[in-house]
Amino acid sequence: MDNSISKVIIVPDVAVIISVYYKDKVLPLYMSLLSIFNQSYKKIVVLLKVDGVVEPDVKRLICIFERKYSNFFVFWREENLGLARSMNELLDYIMTDLTNIKYIARMDADDVAHLDRIKKQIDFLELHNDVSVLGTACKEFGIYNKIIKKLETDEEIKQDIIRVTPFIHPSVIFRVNVFFDGFRYPTQTVLSEDLGFWLVLCLNGYKFANLNDILLDYRLTSSTLKRRIGLRKASSELKERFEFVLISKQRVCINVCFIIGHFFIRLMPISVVKVLYKILR
């Protein structure tokens, strides 16, 4: 009689995609990865794109995690090509090589996911088959300690999509059909690939939602805010928002005012932007 116990193999149905680049630091990355591998929902696989040369201690940490976790796949690239390209390459890999995946979750290399984040998002999506993109609330840390909550229903989100960014990007989970339909992050934007993606998905009729639960600790630093200002980013967002309004014809007059307001905020000094972020959100 064979008394051996067969090992149970867990087939993942959620892929978590992360990108790391030269500005990422080892301790935040460690906390981020640990928060994902310790999720209460266990049917996950983690894909990490190393977007160019990274610090030696970051590289060592990635290699340690790669040896420890069989559900961790690392893709290295010598040249820094940006977040959108990194995400799209991981998405293409999932589409062709990970056929059991039903959901794709985003995560950033310096944020911390609450341990029940993925489970709560999967539970919601299993009950709401019409929702294709789902975000959560977050708690910011760094410059401010502030709770950030987003509009929850599809109607609310889309009505205010020009005034308010619909999602906290690293909190989002997608149904895989969004990507099987051929959609990818836009690569012609300037540090605004997430906004461009939300607007494209909105125009194509995908249903949005946000959980009210705080399921992510979001790191907000001066460097984060500096990446959100400047003429190139302001111009890129201006173009994306105007194109959306021209196509959708949604609340044209008021949305044009919001677009112009966003543009000028992106051009303000960082000291002013810090105050506005604290007051207006």
Residue 212 lies in a domain: yes
- DSSP 8-state symbol, 217: E
What does pLDDT average to over the chain? 94
pLDDT of residue 9: 66
Is 260 a member of any domain?
no
Task: Give the domain extent around 94.
Answer: 14-219
pLDDT at 4: 39
pLDDT tens-place string over residues 22-72? 999 999 999 999 999 999 999 999 999 999 999 999 999 999 999 999 999
SS (H, E, C) 126-160: HHCCCEEEEEEEEEEEECCCEEECCCCCHHHHHHC
Angle at the Cα of 163 from the Cα atoms of 162 and 168, rounded to 5 degrees = 85
Average pLDDT rounded to a whole number, residues 127-147:
96
Read off the CATH number of the domain in which 96 is found.
Answer: 3.90.550.10
- In the three-class reduction of DSSP (H, G, I as helix; E, B as strand; rest coil), residue 16 is classed as strand
pTM of the model: 0.94
Q: Which residues contact 163 (CB under 8 A, 6 or more apart)?
A: 255, 258
Q: Residues 6 or more apart from 220 whose CB is under 8 A from it?
A: 140, 141, 142, 143, 144
pLDDT at residue 238 greater than cutoff 60: yes
Number of domains in the chain: 1
Give the C-alpha separation, 207 to 129, whole Å. Answer: 10
Whose structure tokens read 């940006």? 82
Percent of the chain with pLDDT over 70: 97
Average pLDDT over residues 148-155: 97
Name residues whose C-beta falls within 8 Å of residue 248's C-beta, 6 or more positions apart in sequence: 202, 203
Using an 8 Å Cβ cutoff, are 55 and 27 in contact?
no
5 pLDDT more than 70:
no
